[in-house]
């Protein structure tokens, strides 16, 4: 049935859709969707052979417009490669930390673009991502690497979804390979005491005592300055941390600059030069920026701590205070001995010249300390797990543990607080005393002390908080801040 003609001398209201027969013999439709970035109306054009086809398409665009799901202008032209490059360089780069950005760029340029870059953004399916994850696994990529690629894709496509470039996020529907986390066993009380005893005789040994007693992160401990420690009041502040950033080329031709360091051929079987052989360089390799004469942006840099909760004030135990005073006196003697070679920065833990400690040297010193103390091999970050577990054993309330450790979310405690064997045995003993107690004795259990929650209550609250946090594996969990 043909459309009724509008009476002569009248016109459609502003923003109304229009359908007409063009001089080319085809039917055309125009639908006002919204406003473009330059302020002009975003008016979409539809062209079909028949009037019915145009009407159907115009009505479909109007429904999408009214529901807020209409594609952005030009979104059909985006490829996965174009969007990922735009996201990582224009959107993510100004807003995230240097190390986070380095991880994003590795996932984007090394894995996502080579594997998915040619797809149209709006036609990307979860199956495409799952096939990429399978290929990465078959090539020998570790599950952690595949999950980093998955999280990066999910973050990038979430932004595309928010901006109307996508209707759904395919990475949220895709399933990444299972990631089995390594079991973390914190140091026992006996092991921690042996480490503390060995640390007293080593240069900068107080650094590892702080790790075990206060649970500071590596960057927080290496970034400590004397102005942030009040030895009289016994308080320590952690507003900043020290991180190593990668160097960037400052020259015009990064490939030629690192030419003498390019690895042309892979190592032969039985290579005795490397503990872990590095891969051969690509034909267009632009790495080796640390050797560039005009290198920039790298080295040790002082940055803010990773979260607002990380900016905290922590009390220092009395034995650690005495150790810090001794360490400060020893540093004063080193400063006098170094003379003009000393580079004053106010750092608590330094090299013999006053420069801050390098994270790699700090790691090697920790391994040497464990060997000297005859303690099993453990990560340096396990000292933080040990400190959190120690607070639980001491029956410190969970809100106080979160404050000391610098956590803003109770669910994080599930990863750090572990129940040691001694506590498990103690709980078993309490259960045995309760169930198999003498029948002649009063059956009413002893109520807990006022103002002191039992260990079981704290563990139950910790598990409840962890179970209540249902969030994707790449997103921050909802904040469970402590009030009061």
Residue positions annotated with a catalytic role: 217, 248, 381, 384, 407, 416
State the Rg of the chain over Cα: 31
Identify the burial level of 116 via C-beta atoms within 10 angstroms of its C-beta, where 0-12 means exposed, 13-18 middle and 19 or more buried: buried
SS3 state of residue 25: coil
The whole-angstrom separation of Cα 84 and Cα 89 is 8
User: To which residue do tokens 């979409």 refer?
Assistant: 44
Q: What sign has the CA pseudo-torsion 392, 393, 395, 400?
A: negative
CB count within 10 Å of CB 173 equals 13
Strand pairing of 27-35 and 41-48? antiparallel
**Residues paired with residue 245 on neighbouring β-strands, in sequence order:** 299
For residues 172, 173, 177, 182, the Cα torsion angle rounded to the nearest 10 degrees is 40
Strand (E) or helix (H) holding 46: strand 41-48
Residue written as token pair 């607002």:
308
The Cα-based distances of 474 to 148, 271, 387, 468, 477 in angstroms read 9, 38, 26, 17, 9
Three-state secondary-structure class, residue 367? helix
How many whole angstroms separate alpha carbon 179 and alpha carbon 147?
8
User: Which residue bears the tokens 């009413």?
Assistant: 444
If you ran DSSP here, which 8-state letter would residue 6 be given? P
Beta-sheet strand order (sheet of 229-230): 229-230, 235-237, 313-315
Question: Residues 302, 223: contact at Cβ < 8 Å?
Answer: yes
Instruction: Compute the residue count for the chain.
Output: 484
Other Cβ atoms within 10 Å of 436 Cβ, number: 8
Chain centroid, CA 226 distance in Å: 29
Residue with tokens 């590596």: 218
What is the Cα–Cα distance from 399 to 408, expressed in whole angstroms?
Answer: 10
Burial (CB < 10 A; 0-12, 13-18, 19+), residue 323, is buried
Residues 20, 27: contact at Cβ < 8 Å? yes
């Amino acid at each position: 049935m043909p459309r009724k003609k509008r009476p002569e001398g009248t016109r459609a209201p502003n923003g109304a859709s229009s359908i007409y027969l063009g001089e080319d013999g085809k039917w055309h439709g125009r639908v006002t969707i919204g406003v473009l970035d330059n302020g002009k109306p975003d008016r979409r054009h539809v062209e079909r052979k028949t009037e019915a086809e145009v009407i159907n398409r115009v009505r479909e665009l109007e429904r999408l417009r009214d529901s807020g799901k209409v594609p952005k202008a030009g979104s059909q032209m985006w490829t996965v490669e174009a969007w990922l490059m735009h996201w990582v360089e224009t959107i993510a780069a100004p807003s995230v930390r240097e190390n986070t950005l380095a991880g994003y760029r590795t996932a984007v340029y090394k894995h996502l673009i080579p594997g998915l870059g040619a797809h149209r953004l709006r036609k990307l399916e979860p199956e495409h991502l799952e096939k990429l994850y399978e290929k990465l696994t078959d090539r020998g990529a570790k599950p952690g690497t595949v999950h980093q690629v998955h999280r990066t894709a999910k973050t990038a496509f979430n932004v595309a979804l928010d901006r109307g470039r996508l209707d759904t996020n395919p990475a949220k529907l895709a399933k990444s390979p299972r990631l089995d986390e390594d079991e973390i066993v914190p140091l026992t009380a006996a092991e921690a005491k042996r480490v503390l005893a060995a640390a007293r005789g080593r240069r900068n040994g107080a650094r590892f005592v702080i790790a075990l007693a206060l649970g500071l992160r590596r960057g927080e401990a290496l970034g400590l300055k004397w102005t942030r420690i009040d030895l009289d009041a016994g308080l320590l502040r952690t507003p900043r941390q020290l991180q190593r950033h990668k160097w960037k080329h400052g020259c015009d031709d990064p490939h030629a600059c690192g030419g003498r360091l390019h690895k042309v051929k892979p190592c032969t079987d039985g290579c005795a030069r490397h503990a872990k052989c590095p891969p051969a360089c690509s034909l267009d390799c632009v790495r080796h920026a640390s050797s560039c004469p005009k290198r920039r942006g790298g080295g040790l840099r002082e940055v803010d701590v990773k979260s607002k909760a990380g900016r905290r004030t922590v009390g220092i135990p009395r034995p650690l205070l005495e150790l810090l005073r001794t360490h400060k006196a020893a540093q004063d003697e080193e400063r006098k001995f170094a003379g003009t070679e000393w580079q004053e920065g106010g750092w608590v833990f330094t090299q013999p010249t006053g420069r801050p400690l390098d994270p790699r040297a700090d790691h090697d010193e920790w391994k040497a300390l464990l060997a000297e103390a005859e303690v099993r091999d453990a990560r340096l970050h396990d000292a933080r797990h040990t400190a959190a577990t120690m607070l639980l054993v001491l029956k410190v309330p969970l809100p106080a543990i979160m404050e000391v450790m610098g956590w803003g979310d109770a669910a994080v405690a599930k990863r750090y607080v572990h129940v040691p064997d001694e506590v498990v045995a103690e709980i078993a003993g309490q259960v045995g005393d309760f169930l198999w107690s003498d029948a002649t004795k009063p059956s009413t259990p002893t109520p807990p002390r006022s103002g002191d929650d039992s260990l079981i209550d704290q563990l139950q609250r910790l598990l409840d908080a962890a179970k209540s946090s249902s969030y994707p594996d790449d997103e921050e969990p909802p904040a469970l801040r402590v009030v009061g």
